[in-house]
Amino acid sequence: MPNQKNQTQVAVLQDKIKEAKSLAIIDYSGTSANDQVKLRRAIADAGGEVLVTKNTLIDIAIGRGKLSDSLEGMNAVVFSNEDAVSAIKALFTFHKDEDKLVIKEGFMDDKVLSATEVEALSKLPSKPELISMLIRTLQAPATGMVNVLKANQRDLVYALKAIAEKK
């Protein structure tokens, strides 16, 4: 029978998995303590969390066998809580800068993601970027309409100026 500490840890993991929009399993064995602090800070700034726990507890919390291929070695779980992309983007930015992590697999909406799918997820725009793109798209027709309405007045001014210069 599992001890109480492990049962509590599995319950905490299951709660974090339910709250997270996506997660990634990473191998952090090549990182130093300072690198881990920088990674945790970058993930936290992006609305995520890094959690290090036993591989068997991660396997139990997610569902036995779903991620068992990647649960060997020194692993951590990166949770993306605010949106599915932000913390994963921060993870890949850190990975590009430091090149000390191994991104193994991901998990989103009860679907296991390969490392390439997690990388593709990191390249998607985040929620704030999507909102700004939507606002720009909605503003474009209004801006165009204003320019069309001002064009007649502007053309009249140019025509009058040209006539005045001829005389």
Q: What is the pLDDT of residues 129-164, one digit of tens each?
A: 878 888 877 777 777 667 777 777 777 777 778 888
Q: What's the whole-model pTM score?
A: 0.73
∠ CA 38-130-43, nearest 5°, is 10
Q: What pLDDT score does 60 carry?
A: 86
Closest CA to 23 of 109, 93, 107, 104: 107
- Strands ordered across the beta sheet of 111-113: 48-52, 75-80, 22-27, 102-108, 111-113
